[in-house]
Structure 1
């Protein structure tokens, strides 16, 4: 089948470019000569037309060692919480990279702040990039930095990556494990939820522990969204969503983006590229059963995880859609999963900010 237009819920291309630290890496992204899962050439080949470009402030001593995520069970040691000065420097650095990509792309990539911006980018054959934060360590308890980042284009935020911060407690990488680990939101976290609602910023629940999830569900007036998570019943890693969580997302008319990270797909919880597309499709089947056809999307985690070898990188996305076509999904449903459901939930979440003056 002809590959549909793809809008993706999560990628870590900015982190990859930031960690490289060179102008050559940015140039390679634009030219399609770099090693990552995403660049402008691979994206065009797979009809990957945009998505949430995550800012993830890295820990000075590294994050998760994927080699630990092996069959038989694991409990990955998480880095210590970040200092705000370090997190702000990294956040500004990655945001700058996205704007440099826009500037250097000759119109082939645009930073988008509304669904109208996304559609306008697509009308001119440009990639639509949305600024997203994964882990709010750069934001102060008074939320002044949130207002600054929103003005710069921030439209989606995960309060935590799996390490804890002043707002919430992340869910660690454990297998097998429930996501019910640790306390819920702090008072500062509750203020962050309310201010994101006021600004129309999407709240991403993907790395939040279960108590935090339920706090957001109680406080937020927006659809519940997990940009890159899978089904706990099929892969019992702590990062995945339980049936009860999926039911709450469905009730809110929210969305879950299928995470391509193999450790969150496989029954054995292993980060192993030798993973079939059929394993991905089983999660999509279960997500559709739990959320309905309007609640399922993609959240690849490109450039941030080991993904199934049959996909490989953004250019391999048509293989997934071919599998869905053979499964009998039908073109209309495939279009919803590929981009339609993301645009719908973003239209219902992004709104004019509330002026508190």
Structure 2
């Protein structure tokens, strides 16, 4: 069976909204439709069978990206986390990036999906499916008024932190080698946020939380545990990756993990050096499947937010990953699960309304 643009890939994480925001905001939307320098646009998606995924709204810190990436090419590194960002500074950025997502929908580039049936319909018709996701809850106030408004606007997934601290908890620094045991977990406000998300049916993303925060969510949440873009610590001992003990908790909750394409979290040596073969990604997939089962593993590319292997620099390269899976011995049913079915399964358990 040829694996070209099928089965369609529904992906756990991308940062294209941030890239469009930095490129001019609403004025940059045309580039998504006609082709842009980046990992995801309408043309590359059609070429690679990219069916959609979690579109992250993220408030950037004023950091030197090139200096950060240079330091992460070293044998060891410990990147200091940026200072917290307050609600008043964060909310205009959240609104601006959300407006880009809504404009993409108005222009016919995608559909913002609020139910699993919406995603299935998109995948069957070729319309790009988008989940409105927030990576780092700086734009959520402690009384959750913003959370309610954003939910009504379509928000269905939320990460309490992007590594830097928020009023809700603490994340992991970009540190190699290191476990995720890097400090305290959820605050009292963070614990209330978990309960509120559970009640509303908003998925909680664990990918940037530290270990203490992970275990706080595991104790509090009544929903499956999900890490949208994380890899196996047993292969790459990076602070951002998940230990086998964490994988066991995710399996017990019937949650899932999306494989992160970022090379620093794939390589055994944790370096941000792009010469990573697809076989290394398959090593992580094998480990995740062994510890989670075939129904709890998917893809979480981190497209437009990370350095990725050369075969997959844009979503037009996804046929190479499908073919590598087939050559590795994954059958058609497992490939379909990894490409999108497992995401639909876990979202069906979380989205209650």
TM-score class normalised by the smaller sequence: over 0.9
> CA shift at 1:143, angstroms?
1.1
> CA shift at 1:336, angstroms?
0.1
Partner of 1:99: 102
- TM (norm. structure 1) is 0.96
Partner of 2:47: 45
Note if contact 2:26-2:100 (Cα within 8 Å) is conserved in structure 1: no
Moved over 3 A (4+): 60-64
> CA shift at 1:274, angstroms?
1.0
Secondary structure in 1 matching 2:40: coil
Note if contact 2:8-2:123 (Cα within 8 Å) is conserved in structure 1: no
* Structure 2 Cα separation of the partners of residues 255 and 95 of structure 1: 26
> CA shift at 1:60, angstroms?
3.3
Q: Is structure 2 residue 20 aligned with structure 1 residue 20? A: no
Secondary structure in 1 matching 2:138: coil
* Structure 1 Cα separation of the partners of residues 179 and 120 of structure 2: 39
Partner of 2:192: 191
Secondary structure in 2 matching 1:181: coil
* Structure 1 Cα separation of the partners of residues 124 and 255 of structure 2: 26
> CA shift at 1:123, angstroms?
3.3
Note if contact 2:25-2:97 (Cα within 8 Å) is conserved in structure 1: no
202-211 or 140-149, which moves further after superposition?
Answer: 140-149
Partner of 1:31: 34
* Structure 1 Cα separation of the partners of residues 286 and 74 of structure 2: 24
Q: Which whole-Å deviations, capped at 9, do the CAs of 1:312-348 have from their partners, x for residues lacking one? A: 2100011111111011110000000000000000000
Partner of 2:10: 7
Q: Which whole-Å deviations, capped at 9, do the CAs of 1:140-167 have from their partners, x for residues lacking one? A: 1111111111010000001000000100
Partner of 1:313: 314
Partner of 1:147: 148
Partner of 2:292: 291
* Structure 1 Cα separation of the partners of residues 282 and 125 of structure 2: 32
Secondary structure in 2 matching 1:156: strand
* Structure 2 Cα separation of the partners of residues 83 and 62 of structure 1: 20
* Structure 2 Cα separation of the partners of residues 337 and 92 of structure 1: 32
> CA shift at 1:21, angstroms?
1.6
Q: Which whole-Å deviations, capped at 9, do the CAs of 1:275-302 have from their partners, x for residues lacking one? A: 1101100000000000000010000000
* Structure 2 Cα separation of the partners of residues 62 and 165 of structure 1: 21
- Within 5 Å, which residues of 2 pair with 1:187-226? 187-226=188-227
236-245 or 271-280, which moves further after superposition?
Answer: 271-280
Note if contact 1:62-1:79 (Cα within 8 Å) is conserved in structure 2: no
The number of residue pairs the alignment matches comes to: 349
- TM (norm. structure 2) is 0.97
Partner of 1:114: 115
- Within 5 Å, which residues of 2 pair with 1:82-97? 82-97=85-100
Q: Is structure 2 residue 69 aligned with structure 1 residue 66? A: yes
Q: Which whole-Å deviations, capped at 9, do the CAs of 1:104-130 have from their partners, x for residues lacking one? A: 12xx41111111111222333200011
1:348–1:177 CA distance, 2 compared to 1 (3 A): same
Note if contact 1:223-1:345 (Cα within 8 Å) is conserved in structure 2: yes
> CA shift at 1:65, angstroms?
1.5
Q: Which whole-Å deviations, capped at 9, do the CAs of 1:228-273 have from their partners, x for residues lacking one? A: 0000010011000001000000111110000000000001111111
Partner of 1:126: 127
* Structure 1 Cα separation of the partners of residues 96 and 260 of structure 2: 26
Q: Is structure 2 residue 56 aligned with structure 1 residue 54? A: yes
Can you give the 5+ residue segments of structure 2 that lack an aligned partner in the other structure?
A: none
Q: Which whole-Å deviations, capped at 9, do the CAs of 1:25-56 have from their partners, x for residues lacking one? A: 21011112x10100001011110011000001
* Structure 1 Cα separation of the partners of residues 169 and 178 of structure 2: 19
Secondary structure in 2 matching 1:99: helix
